[in-house]
Structure 1
Amino acid sequence: MRLAELSERSGVAIATIKYYLREGLLPPGRRVSATTADYDEDHLRRLRLVRAMIQVGKVPVATVREVLGHVDDDSLGRTIRLGAALWALPQEDGPDEGAEGVEGAEGGADEAVVAARAEVDLLLDMLGWTTARELGPLSPVHRSLVVAVATLNRLGYPWDAELMAPYGRLMHQAAVRDLDFVESHPSETEKVETAVAATILFQPVLRALHRLAQEEESARRYGLS
């Protein structure tokens, strides 16, 4: 398809597509003349992913480029390729980055963070999530969980491993469904692209479903009066 058709099918302006091409977010089309290139379904799929990351996920262009670099790195195994792409996405502040910080007034480790990290690691042991346990210090997701638990503890809402474990088991069921969906796509690149898109687009759906479920359960227990 020509650039005009790619624009029409994607709903993205030609000028924006040209910008994405210049920034390396979209691979160049197959050159058919000095001024004309052909684009295919892979370009359309990638263009939709880029728009999802920028418009919905509010991901900076430089970060989009980094994520897509991991998506396209076929020298990596699927787990590392997927993990690298997802880790490159913006995360919640980790304990070494958050407003509360890791360091206390005396320059030592923040007690709430130390306690939260211990509970998170205990949780991972309880769930048998050995990979998450081993990668803990390297994972921005692990850091985000630690700082969230530390913040809850500071505010007087302590969350320990026992309280988090049932939620962890439910999240594992969600992860199984996520990867079943990813596996339904044919190529390695499509699988990783789908996982990135799902991380950005499906999380608002899951949050909304969680809140609706809370409303439903509240009505069942306590009525609507």
Structure 2
Amino acid sequence: NTVAGFLGSPMAYPGFAIINILAGFVLFIYVVIPVSYWSNIYDAKKFPLISSHTFDSTGTTYNVSRILNDATFDIDMDAYNNYSKLYLSITFAFDYGLSFATLTATISHVFLFHGKTINQMWRKTTAALKEQAGDVHTRIMKRNYEQVPEWWFVSILFLMTIMALLCCEGFGKQLQLPWWGVLLSLTIALVFTLPIGVIQATTNQQAGLNVITELIIGYLY
């Protein structure tokens, strides 16, 4: 059905993850958000209860064209101050807030509950590489198949990074992303790949990086 098509099969989720999702959904959709709406937090009553659109101070859809430079797409702060601050529906505001909380919780949870295991696995991996040993499956694979050289992967990463930098700095800079934005994105991916991977492997839930990337690039650029 539609729900399974969007979220995936519930059979792939461990029981504790399903219970956690259900409890969080009930808490925020039936308690926190209604209370916040009727308390008029962030002028919530001016806007729809549930909406992913952005709004101005009058409650109408935000007209982004009024605050952007048509040529460069940069924000005109004078036009912004004369028009309106940007508002979100109370549900969308909580969605953004919880997304930031999710990323923070992901890092802290993995460090506290899986840090020891990760450290042990790292030591075993490095030791196995030095001894050229490994488990029985690894030894069988090495005897029957030629291993892909590590420098292949490093070369692909290096070449793709150079191409990304050239694309950003070339073509009249139409992509509007400076060269350091590429390096920043690689750094963010390096930091979050392991903790997000651990959470997805154990709960079948993946935390999105869009909120933190939007915040960082919006602040820096």
TM-score (norm 2): 0.23
TM-score (norm 1): 0.23
The structure with the largest alpha-carbon Rg is: 2
